[in-house]
A and B are shown apart, each in its own frame.
Chain A
Amino acid sequence: MLRYIIRRLLYSLTLVAGVMLVLFLLYHVLGGSEMVVMRMVGKHATPQEIQNLRHMYGFDKGYPAQLREIVWKCLTFDFGRSISTRQKISTMLYEGAGPSLTLMLPAFIITVLLAISVALLCAYKRNSLFDRTIVVLSVGGMSISIMAYIILGQYLLAYKMRLFPISGYEPGLQAARYILLPLIIYVAVSTGSDVRLYRTFILNEINQDYVRTALAKGVGIMRLLFKHVLKNAMIPIITQVVIEVPFLIMGSLLLENFFGIPGLGNMSIEALGNWDFPVLMAVTYLGSLLFIVGNLLSDILYAVVDPRVRLV
């Protein structure tokens, strides 16, 4: 068991190193290239201006020195200061995580619970009118652009009907007023694909032998669904959920941007407009790190629950 955990841990560390390498290639090799720098300074920049910009981003050092710097920044979590706002990036990350979580945590929990219940109902009434309607609705819902949901939701519900504030944010309990509409939109956007996925997981279980055995033994259909099938179908469902959890702290970039919620997602979009590579890199790194840690935890959890996993 301990050997398994240590092996997974070491593997996760190599993944973190891989993420650092990708960030280096992205923001320093490609970002520091002639092509990108020229676009950042504009056509009529003097050599001095170009030199200043390259110095500001650290492009004037050699690649080994830049790579060392990235590794050091990622390990110490000290990303320096933002290029556009001059704030400390670690403070920005800390302040942005709150609003993002305020929106995403309830949105995510509602989506998962709603999707599991609808998927169970679909599997229970397989091939009925209800099941087919839900499948058609979820495929239809998946095919609409998220932009359409956001723009239409904001226009109809907030602007026309004045049910919600159009955008803005206040910390504390007041936040509820502002996050309600983005929350509804998040649930509307993500429930469709989740229902389809969970329904497949549950239907996969329904075709198993133990279900037939239980039916033959005379187990009631409700008991069979909720006690036998759901328990087994929870394994792939939980894997899916665990994978999505780390992204909660990142918020939804587009929702936060449209509704003016000062979370990490909004921060990244602003950084994007300002060529603020250090901020973009920090947010990307934080998201990747959380994802890797989440996967590591779920791997260990499985090994604890299911002894077969340890042998792999």
Chain B
Amino acid sequence: MISLTVILVYIIIALGVQTGLIAAHYNEKHESAKEIAPGEVRMMYREYEPPGRDFWFGTDLFGRDVFQMTLYGVRTALMIGLITSLIAIPIGVLFGAVAGYFGGIIDEIVVWFYSAVASIPSLLLLISLSLLLGRGLKGVYLAIGLTSWVSLCRLVRGEVTKIKRMEYVQAARALGASHTRIIFRHIIPNLFHLIIISFTLGFCYAIKSEVILSYLGIGVELGQPSWGNMIQTARQELLRGVWWQFGAATLAMFFIVLAFNLFGDALRDALDPRLKT
């Protein structure tokens, strides 16, 4: 229940950012007047201001509010989690269901293809694809989405080979339902538990991958606040004792990933009684 609340809070923040109600000034550079030499006053960025009353999580090199950047990062992270799932889940479900349902040569080809993809070290595949697709959110969506469908595909295929022998599928066929109708109306709705569990896992994977890709300079564009970009900048800042940007991004990420992990466990216990942990 707590995990669901955390996820909801993050979703509300993301929606707030999307509509411009929250963190609209994330890119604003704050300045303050400082006296350089006696009598000479100059406007300066309020760079690296520690957390305080004005800036809850401090400011970065350009005097930007780290708190607002972290909130903006919520939107980026949720977008990445959502869109990569929207890419990976249809691929996995469709190929898995078709392979399991028809069997024979189609099954052999699908199994062969996902086994070959699964043999390739996943991080290398991910960074190569991301490099080729180019820096930016679109590349990140595609790279993570196209590399994370295999495990769901394998699960779905296994489940469908079992489901297709069940009476209700045979009954549907006896009534003259077409293959497409059986797959989409009768089989896929019964895979819902696999899909939702895999969605929570995929979400964590996507958020974690974004951080790695952004660190390597092939992730989200620098102008776009994301936790990965914040952690990457924070690496140099730490040496100057500026810990708040690193801490804010890491904590924000920790809570959402933890919530999804716990939520996924609870779902698994509730929906898939065979896998009691």
Name B261's contact: one of A142, A148, A295 (CB within 8 Å).
Answer: A142
Q: Which residue of B lies closest to A18 (CB)?
A: B116
Minimal beta-carbon separation of A242 from chain B (angstroms): 14
The chain A residue sitting closest to B227, CB to CB, is A145
Contact A139 B262, beta carbon cutoff 8 Å: yes
CB pair B119 A292 closer than 8 Å:
yes
Chain A: which residue is nearest B204 at the CB level?
A: A143
Q: Is A51 an interface residue (CB 8 A)?
A: no
Q: Which of B132, B234, B258, B261 touches A26 (beta carbons < 8 Å)?
A: B132
A269 on interface, CB distance cutoff 8 Å? yes
Q: Is B125 an interface residue (CB 8 A)?
A: yes
- In the complex, chain B residues whose CB is within 8 Å of the CB of A15: 112, 115-116, 119
Contact: A247 with B250, CB < 8 Å? no
| B216 within 8 Å of A (CB atoms) | yes
Contact A269 B277 (CB under 8 A): no
B239 near A148 with CB under 8 A, answer no
Is B231 within 8 A of A22, CB to CB? no
Q: Residues 199-228 of chain B: 1 if any A CB is under 8 Å from the residue's CB, otherwise 0?
A: 000001000100110011110000000000
Whether B277 and A203, one on each chain, are in contact in the complex, defined by CB atoms closer than 8 angstroms, is: yes
Pick the contact of B120: A19, A27, A30, A253 (CB < 8 A): A19
User: Would B121 and A291 count as touching, CB distance under 8 A?
Assistant: yes
Nearest-Cβ distance from residue A177 to partner chain B, whole angstroms: 22
CB proximity to A under 8 Å, residues B232-260: 234-235, 238-239, 246, 250, 253-254, 257-258
Chain A residues within 8 Å of B276, by CB: 203
Query: Is A36 part of the binding interface, using a Cβ–Cβ cutoff of 8 Å?
Result: yes
Query: B261–A143 contact, CB under 8 A?
Result: yes
Interface of A (DSSP majority class):
helix
- Verify B257–A31 contact, CB threshold 8 A: no
A145 touches B218 (CB 8 A): no
* 9-residue interface stretch from A57-65, A78-86, A87-95, A280-288: A280-288
> What is the chain B residue whose CB lies nearest that of A273?
B217
Total interface residues in chain B, CB < 8 Å: 43
A239 at the B interface (CB under 8 A): no
Verify if B86 is at the interface (C-beta below 8 Å from A).
no
A139 adjacent to B258 (CB under 8 Å) = yes
Q: Is A155 an interface residue (CB 8 A)?
A: yes
Tell me whether chain B's interface is mostly helix, strand or loop, or mixed. Answer: helix
Contact A145 B231 (CB under 8 A): yes
Question: B129–A26 contact, CB under 8 A?
Answer: yes
- List CB contacts (< 8 Å) of A121-147 with chain B: 139-140, 142-147
Do A288 and B238 have beta carbons less than 8 Å apart?
Answer: no
**Closest Cβ neighbor of A35 among chain B residues:** B134
Contacts of B134 in A (CB 8 A): 35-36, 39
Chain B neighbourhood of A139, CB < 8 A: 258, 261-262, 265
Tell whether, in the assembled complex, residue A145 and residue B121 are in contact, meaning their CB atoms are under 8 Å apart.
no
Kindly state whether residue A21 has any CB partner on chain B within 8 Å.
yes
B112 and A151 form a contact (CB under 8 A): no
Query: Which residues on the B side are within 8 Å of A268 (C-beta)?
Result: 124, 127
Identify A30's interface contact among B132, B238, B261, CB under 8 A.
B132
- CB <8 Å contact, A284 and B125: yes
**Chain A proximity mask over B113-143: 1 for CB below 8 Å, otherwise 0:** 1011101110111011101111000000000
Give Cα A39–Cα B258 distance, bound, in whole angstroms: 38
Using A18-B116, A144-B250, A148-B250 as known contacts, say yes or no to A284 and B124 having CB atoms under 8 A apart: yes
Q: Which residues of A contact B132 (CB under 8 A)?
A: 26-27, 30-31, 36
Do A247 and B121 touch (CB < 8 A)?
A: yes
Q: Cβ of A147 and Cβ of B212 under 8 Å apart?
A: yes
- Given the known interface contacts A140-B258, A272-B131, A272-B216, the answer about A253 and B112 at a Cβ–Cβ threshold of 8 Å is no
Distance between A287 CB and nearest chain B CB, rounded to angstroms: 4
- Interface contact B128-A284, CB-CB below 8 Å: yes
How many Å lie between the Cα of A22 and that of B120 in the bound state?
9
Q: Give the residues in chain A near B125, CB-CB below 8 Å.
A: 26, 284
Q: Which chain A residues lie closer than 8 Å to B275 at the CB level?
A: 200
Contact with B along A284-312 (1 / 0, CB 8 A): 10011001100100000000000000000
What A residues does B133 contact at CB under 8 A?
A: 30
Cα A142 to Cα B253 in complex, Å, equals: 12
Q: Name the one of B123, B238, B277 contacting A151, with C-beta atoms under 8 angstroms.
A: B238
Question: Do B121 and A288 touch (CB < 8 A)?
Answer: yes
Most A-side CB within 10 Å, residue of B121, B129, B265: B121
15 examples of A-B residue contacts, CB within 8 angstroms:
A17-B116, A21-B116, A30-B132, A142-B257, A144-B257, A145-B250, A145-B253, A146-B208, A146-B212, A151-B231, A203-B276, A203-B277, A272-B131, A284-B125, A291-B120
B interface with A by C-beta (< 8 Å): 112-113, 115-117, 119-121, 123-125, 127-129, 131-134, 204, 208, 211-212, 215-218, 231, 234-235, 238-239, 246, 250, 253-254, 257-258, 261-262, 265, 275-277
Closest 3 CB pairs of A and B: A18-B116, A143-B258, A287-B121
* 15 more A-B residue pairs beyond the given contacts A27-B132, A143-B261, A148-B250, with a C-beta to C-beta distance below 8 A: A14-B112, A26-B132, A145-B211, A145-B254, A151-B235, A159-B239, A196-B277, A199-B277, A254-B212, A254-B215, A269-B127, A288-B120, A291-B119, A291-B120, A295-B119
